[in-house]
Amino acid sequence: MEFPLPTASTEETKKISPNYVRLSGASAMALRLQSGRFSRDFDFGGINLLLNYDNGCLSDCGYCGLARTRPGDYEDKSFIRVDWPLFETDLVVERMAKYAQKLTRLCISMVTHGSAYEDTADITERIAAKIKTPLSLLVAPPTLNRERLQHLKDLGADMIGVGLDAVSENVFFDTRTNVPKGGLKWSNYWDIINYSREIYGPWKVNIHTVVGLGETDKDLIDMFYELKSRQILAYLFSFNPEPDSRMGNHPKATVRRWRRIQLVKHLIETYDLDPRALTFDEEGNLIKLESTAARTNKVLTTLDAGIPFMTNGCPGENGEPGCTRPYGSYRPSEPYRDFPFQPVTDDLVQIREELDLENLMSV
């Protein structure tokens, strides 16, 4: 896959990176660059930046709002079904410095483009020169190699995220490789994951995993075990179809399936859940979590806290939730799939109903 570089004249006349970036709507609100309010009041300090180019992202993932063959101009396209308004990079950096005391985590999201690496390095330097808030990079593997990953760390990035999304090679191929303008390679993504783990260290690499692209429950759960064994974080998203994308009519995972995957992932990561406690049917659907007194107690304690149902995201400086990505898995008008704050009593009642725990843990 070739990624054409913009000419100097293009860089001067177009509102493209590195001198311009897109911000998530929530980030723009937090930096007082856009008016608006959340449906509930909560502290939000995770700022998400997205590289911007005249010809957009040159990948063509079947489910992504930024896919190159999705109709419409790139600047008008949504990403995870949320608008990302465009701002001057230096203005964004100034605002982040102004509100630094309220910020918990910063993230630059790359796209597949020929200048993405150089521009990410440029923006990383601008941020690191003025702001000490921890900085993550959500990288585009086709643009990187081991040396570039090391350089980005030297410039100030402290965590690497890889949007693997599809947790099996077959689903990756179907949604990201064998598509009209595809070409992404499973092996390339894993090379970058492996290099990142070597360079950044334990629990400093995260993999985005999406529920609902065509994988089985067993595919997801096997991935959670594998990543934990390697001290790599798994971040969970619920597929939400982008209008006019090739998967625009693909159904979302049911809420029951989503809640059960959230719960099991937490039990694996927090309590070393024995894989033998899980039963799957012939199609790889999770049908039973073995009930023991000790395990039931852990599950009930977990449900009382609500932690598994919060947004997965990079931590803040002291390990607290740093990036809470409001609306990463659902529209603002839809019920919460993951919570950017700790669920309250009414939320927990709803979560218990959605889990249908009695059937999952029946003897």
DSSP string, 151-192: HHHHHT--EEEEEEE-SSHHHHIIIIISSTT----HHHHHHH
* Burial per residue of 154-185, b for 16 or more beta-carbon CB atoms within 10 angstroms, e otherwise: ebbbbbbbbbbbbbbeebbbbbbbebeebbbb
The mean pLDDT of 50-68, rounded to a whole number, is 92
Amino acid at 4: P
Q: Spell out the domain ranges in the chain.
A: 8-252
- Could you give the CA distance from residue 12 to residue 9 in angstroms, rounded to a whole number? 5
Compare 22 and 73 and report the one with higher pLDDT.
22
Residues 6+ apart with CB under 8 A from 16: 6, 10, 52, 53, 54
The CATH fold of domain 8-252? TIM Barrel (3.20.20)
- The answer on pLDDT for 197 being more than 60 is yes
Closest-CA residue to 243 (of 83, 69, 63): 63
Res 242: pLDDT: 87
Angle formed at CA 29 by CA 23 and CA 31, multiple of 5 degrees: 80
Of residues 187 and 331, more confidently modeled: 187
Residue 362: its pLDDT value, please?
A: 75
pTM recorded for the entire structure: 0.93
Mean pLDDT, all residues of the chain: 92
pLDDT at 278 over 50: yes
| Mean pLDDT confidence for 32-60 | 87
